[in-house]
Amino acid sequence: MPPTPLPGRPARGSRTGRPLFSLLDLMTRRWSMRIVWELQHRELTFLELQRECDGMSSSTLTVRLRELAEARLIDRRADGSYALTPLGTELPAAFGPLILWAEKWSETTAADQAETESPEPA
């Protein structure tokens, strides 16, 4: 298993571990973004988080929780639930512009696709 991407460590796209590439490497690992997304409004236990994430395997969830904790984005509370750290709570908002851009991209590609699929006038 590859090490948790952190600034200063080699990551996909950056041998020197540039912070942006490290973040993107971490967040594009399967289920990482979804875990952060589900924790943005409330704390969840392991089983609740697994259920909210469409029943991902417990082994995958365990690995992702460990990685996100090592990256200081989540922590485990005394009651056993998981929550975003103060730094982690900033992450969903930081992705806000990217989400807006993705929506615009989706609309553009859908419009382009509709144009190419419409029949030629006779």
Q: What is the CATH number of the domain that holds 57?
A: 1.10.10.10
Is 55 a member of any domain?
yes
Is 96 a member of any domain?
yes
Beta-bridge partners for 75:
83
CA distance 113 to 119: 12
CA distance 121 to 50: 51
Is 97 a member of any domain?
yes
How many distinct structural domains can be found in the chain? 1
Domain that holds residue 93: 31-117
Is 9 a member of any domain?
no
pTM > 0.85: no
What is the three-class DSSP state of 30?
A: coil
Per-residue pLDDT of the chain (122 residues; tens, 9 = 90+): 789 999 999 898 888 889 999 999 999 999 999 999 999 999 999 999 999 999 899 999 999 999 999 999 999 999 999 999 999 999 999 999 999 999 999 999 988 777 777 666 65
CA distance 110 to 115: 9
Is 12 a member of any domain?
no
Is-contact 105 89, C-beta < 8 A?
no
pLDDT at 119: 64
Is 52 a member of any domain?
yes
Is-contact 49 34, C-beta < 8 A?
no
pLDDT at 91: 95
Is 42 a member of any domain?
yes
pLDDT at 2: 82
7 contacts: CB under 8 Å, gap ≥ 6: 17, 18, 19, 22
pLDDT at 122: 59
Is 13 a member of any domain?
no
